[in-house]
Every structure is written in structure tokens, then in C-alpha cells.
């Protein structure tokens, strides 16, 4: 592990979370590991099914090929779905929650394969299925909390200790990837929600940029002190899974930002049970997204009750 960092305590915690597993990419505040091929195939199949059910439910006068890579073959149809937030979350709706729960189970199996539940005090639900267009859009990218702006998840209300998890699944991620910058310092007055991510963008000045790839079949773990932004420089689509977990090991530097989204964090065993003994549900129809613009909200994009199957 590289040791030239202003945040050795946070780098050390991330290294301990990864343990002895071989690393594909090794930076102080970011690590990347290879997902077992059968587990990744299961995830791809579940995500493709989720997209298929969503497309089929919305475009009732069309036929879609479930056997194909829908991110590649149905770009225009996917772009027209009404349940996608400005930052790319493909939200589960009443018609698609059954398929969503299969995605969650596939993600949970990957999380367990790396023994990450042993390091987690709580895990965020729902996991995000995020579809991002590589084409720049001034109206979307200029919003106060657009994901295309350099930001820390703390600035959107996540806790300072929450480790970010990224699972790239489909798309030309090399062209629609993420820019990562480790700042020289992270002052406490910028540890917490910001009305506009631009208010903290100066922290990237003089910082160290990580030459980290975002490739399907990998799992990336990153500390929230690592400032990042979606990169848009192509017409391609990128689909990835992202979520966060609170580590059992806490640091003094976690305290200034307890976060505003703790209500979405579940005990690891309850989180892993979604799609098995528990199900994530929604009564919302597959219609135009009418929730708050999460670029200005400190809460999650929508509420999703999680119920026991026998409840």
C-alpha cells in the first residue's frame, strides 16, 4: 500500500477492511478487488433482468430481448425510462421490485465473498442501480449536487465513516468513469452536507489524482475523504451498483459528520436477507420521477419499506 497520504488512519482502516485479499488497484483511500466470475455473471444476469422488467413494464407496445446486453442494445429506450433520477438512480417501482430483490441478493453474495460483513456495523439499503450517460448535459451536470461535480458523499448527507462500494456492471466504463482526487486536508467545516458541491471543490487543488480504473468485474472500496466525480466524455452508457457501509472500526475523524441518512442503514444480517427472508417493496407506479431533486436533499431519493416475507 502506498503510504504517502495525509490520512494514514483512514488508509490503514481501509487496508484492514480489505485484509489479505489480492488487490487489483491499491491507493491509500481506494482499493479494487476482482469479483469471482460466477458471482459476477449472476449479478449481470440479475441486473439485465431488472432492466428488462422495467423496460417491458413501461414500453408495453414493444418487445425486448432478455438475452441481449440491454445497456448496449436499448440505449434510447433506457434513456427514456421515467424512474431515473437526475443523478442516474434507476429506482425500483411496484412492477420491478421482485427483480430488484434478485439484484440485491447477487450484490449481497459478492459482499459476503470478500468477508466484508465481518467489518460492517451497518449497510445502506437500498443499493443503488445507477445508469449514467457519458454525454455532458449542462442542465443536469450544473445542478447544485450533480454527481458530475467533484464531491464527497458527506456533502450529500452520508456519514464520515461510510465506506463507498462500487460494482461496475455494464458499459464502456473507461469512457464514463470516475475521477478521484485525494485532497491535502479535509477541514471539519466541510465535513457535512453542502447546498452546492462547488462550495468544497477547492479541496481538490494540489490534491493527488488516482489513476484508478472502473472496470466490470471489479469491486472498489473508497473512503469518503476521497473526492470524486462522474466523468462524461462520450455517448456511452455506464451501469454500476453503489452503496455504503459503516465499518465496525471507528476513527476520531468520523465524529464531525454523523450523517443524515442513518435511517437507511441496516444491520448486516438484515441487509443480506433482502431478497431472501426479507423483500424491498414499493407501491409507487412506474411513472415520471416526481420525488425531490436529491441534488438538494439530505435524504435518500425515495422510501422503500423492507418487509419479512412471512410478515
Terminal CA-CA length for the chain: 47
pLDDT digits (tens, 9 = 90+) for 112-167: 999 999 999 999 999 999 998 878 888 888 999 999 999 999 999 999 999 999 99
Mean pLDDT of 52-59: 97
Whole-number Cα distances in Å, 73 to 51, 60, 91, 171, 213: 12, 18, 21, 11, 24
Alpha-carbon gap, residue 180 to 153, rounded angstroms: 13
Domain membership flag for residue 3: no
Q: How many domains does the chain have?
A: 1
140-144, 182-186, 207-211: least confident range: 140-144
Best CA proximity match to 151, nearest among 114, 203, 104:
203
What's 205's domain CATH number?
2.60.120
* Cα(72)–Cα(189) distance, integer angstroms: 43
Distance (Å, whole) CA 133 – CA 36:
27
Query: pLDDT grade, residue 301 (50/70/90)?
Result: low
Give the tens place of pLDDT for each residue, 225-281: 999 998 887 777 889 999 999 999 999 999 999 999 999 999 999 999 999 999 999
Q: Is residue 142 part of a domain?
A: yes
Mean pLDDT score of the chain: 92
Is position 262 within any domain?
yes
- Longest CA–CA span in the chain (Å) reads 57
Q: Is residue 114 situated within a structural domain? A: yes
Which domain covers residue 156, as residue numbers? 8-308
Which cell goes with 105? 441478493
Instruction: Confirm whether 53 is domain-assigned.
Output: yes
Which H/E stretch holds residue 42? helix 37-58
Mean pLDDT value of segment 191-197: 96
Q: Where are the alpha helices (DSSP H) in 138-203?
A: 138-141
Q: How far apart are CA 260 and CA 154, in angstroms?
A: 9
The pLDDT score that the predictor gives to residue 303 is 84
Q: Give the mean model confidence (pLDDT) for residues 210-233.
A: 93
Residue 176 pLDDT level (bands cut at 50, 70, 90)? low
Which of 46-60, 74-88, 113-127, 188-202 is predicted with the least confidence, judged by mean pLDDT?
74-88
In the predicted model, is pLDDT for residue 297 greater than 70?
no
Lowest-confidence segment of 56-70, 71-85, 254-268, 294-308 by average pLDDT: 294-308
pLDDT at residue 133, rounded to an integer: 84
Position 2 in a domain: no
Q: pLDDT > 70: what percent of the chain?
A: 93
pLDDT at 1: 44
Note whether residue 1 is domain-resident. Answer: no
Grid cell digits, residue 150? 467533484
Separation CA 223–CA 253 (nearest Å): 12
C-alpha cell at 69: 446486453
Would 16 be classed as within a structural domain? yes
DSSP code of residue 116? G
Reading the block at residue 280, the C-alpha cell is 424491498
- Predicted confidence band of residue 289 (pLDDT cuts 50, 70, 90): low
The SS3 call for residue 197 is helix
Short-list 241, 236, 244, CA closest to 50 = 241
Element holding 110 (H helix, E strand): helix 97-113
Backbone angles phi, psi at 57, to 5 degrees: -75, -35
Q: For residues 98-123, give the mean pLDDT.
A: 98
Picking from 274, 101, 240, the residue whose alpha carbon sits closest to that of residue 166 is 240
pLDDT at 293 over 60: no
Amino acid at each position: 500500500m502506498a503510504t504517502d497520504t495525509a490520512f494514514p488512519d483512514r488508509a490503514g482502516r481501509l487496508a484492514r477492511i480489505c485484509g489479505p485479499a489480492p488487490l487489483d488497484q491499491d491507493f491509500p483511500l481506494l482499493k479494487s478487488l476482482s469479483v469471482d466470475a460466477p458471482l459476477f455473471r449472476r449479478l449481470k444476469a440479475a441486473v439485465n433482468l431488472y432492466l428488462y422488467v422495467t423496460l417491458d413494464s413501461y414500453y408495453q407496445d414493444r418487445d425486448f430481448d432478455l438475452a441481449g446486453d440491454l445497456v448496449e442494445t436499448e440505449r434510447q429506450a433506457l434513456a427514456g425510462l421515467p424512474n431515473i433520477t437526475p443523478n442516474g438512480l434507476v429506482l425500483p417501482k411496484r412492477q420491478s421490485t421482485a427483480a430488484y430483490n434478485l439484484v440485491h441478493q447477487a450484490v449481497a453474495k459478492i459482499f459476503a465473498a470478500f468477508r466484508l460483513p465481518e467489518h460492517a456495523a451497518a449497510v445502506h439499503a437500498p443499493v443503488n442501480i445507477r445508469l449514467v450517460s457519458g454525454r455532458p448535459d449542462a442542465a443536469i451536470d450544473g445542478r447544485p449536487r450533480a454527481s458530475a461535480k467533484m464531491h464527497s458523499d458527506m456533502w450529500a448527507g452520508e456519514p464520515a465513516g461510510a465506506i463507498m462500494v462500487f460494482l461496475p456492471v455494464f458499459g464502456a466504463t473507461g469512457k464514463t468513469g470516475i475521477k478521484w482526487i485525494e485532497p491535502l486536508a479535509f477541514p471539519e467545516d466541510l465535513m457535512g452536507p453542502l447546498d452546492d458541491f462547488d462550495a468544497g471543490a477547492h479541496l481538490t487543488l494540489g490534491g493527488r489524482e488516482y489513476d484508478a480504473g472502473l472496470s466490470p468485474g471489479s469491486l472498489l472500496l473508497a473512503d469518503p475523504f476521497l473526492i470524486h466525480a462522474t466523468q462524461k466524455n462520450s455517448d456511452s452508457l455506464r451501469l454500476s451498483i453503489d452503496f455504503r457501509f459503516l465499518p465496525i472500526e471507528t476513527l476520531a475523524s468520523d465524529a464531525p459528520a454523523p450523517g443524515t441518512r442513518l435511517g437507511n442503514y441496516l444491520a448486516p444480517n438484515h441487509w443480506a436477507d433482502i431478497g431472501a427472508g426479507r423483500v424491498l417493496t414499493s407501491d409507487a407506479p412506474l411513472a415520471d420521477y416526481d420525488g425531490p431533486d436529491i441534488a438538494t436533499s439530505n435524504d435518500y431519493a425515495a422510501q422503500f419499506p423492507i418487509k419479512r416475507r412471512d410478515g
